[in-house]
Chain A
Amino acid sequence: MNASATASASARSAAAVGVSVEGLSKDFNGFPVLREISLTVNPGEIFVLMGPSGSGKSVLLKHVVGLEQPSAGRVLVDGHDASDPATRGRVRMALVFQAGALFNSMTVYDNLALYPREHRLGTEAAIRDKVMRSLQMLSLENAAGKVPAELSGGMRKRVAIARALVMEPQLMLYDEPTSELDPVMSATISEVIATLREQYHVTSIVVSHDRDLALGIADRVGILMGGRLVSLGPPADLRAPADPRVADFLNPVIDLRNPRFRQLAG
Chain B
Amino acid sequence: MAAETSQPSEEIESILTSAPKQVVRPLVRVLEGIGSCLRLLVEAARHVPTLPRQFGRFIEQCYLIGYTTLPIVGILSFFIGSVLALQSGYAATNIGPKQFIGLLVGLSMARELGPVMAAVLLAGRVGSAIAAELASMKVYQEVDALETMNIPPARMLVLPRLAAVLAMMPVLTIMSDLVGWFGGAIVAKYTHFISIEPASYFATMRQYMDFGDVLNGLVKAEVFGFGVVLVCCNIGLNTRGGPREIGASVTRAVVTSLILILVLDYFVTKALM
Which A positions have Cβ atoms within 8 angstroms of B? 62, 65-67, 88-89, 93-95, 97, 99, 101-104, 114-115, 118-120, 167
Contact = CB atoms under 8 A, between A and B. Distances in A.
Contact of B142 (A88, A103, A120): A103
A67 B147 contact: yes
B156 interface: yes
B55 interface: no
Contacts of A120: 53
A88 B156 contact: no
- Chain B, interface size: which category? 10 to 19
Most buried by A among B141, B145, B147: B145
A67 B144 contact: yes
B207 interface: no
Contact of B151 (A67, A94, A99, A115): A115
Contacts, number: 46
B202 to A, nearest CB: 46
A114 B151 CA distance: 9
A99 B137 CA distance: 13
B145 A88 contact: no
A166 to B, nearest CB: 10
Contact of A97 (B141, B150, B156): B141
B149 interface: yes
Contact of A101 (B53, B140, B150, B156): B140
Contacts of B151: 114-115, 118-119
B150 A104 contact: no
B142 A104 contact: yes
Contacts of B150: 88-89, 119
A101 B149 contact: no
13 contacts: A66-B147, A88-B150, A93-B148, A94-B148, A95-B144, A95-B148, A101-B142, A102-B145, A103-B142, A104-B142, A118-B151, A119-B151, A167-B149
Contacts of A89: 150
Contacts of A95: 144-145, 148
Given A97-B144, A101-B144, 17 more contacts: A66-B147, A67-B144, A93-B148, A95-B144, A95-B148, A99-B140, A101-B140, A101-B141, A102-B142, A104-B142, A114-B149, A114-B151, A115-B151, A118-B149, A118-B151, A118-B156, A167-B149
B140 A67 contact: no
Interface string B15-53: 000000000000000000000000000000000000001
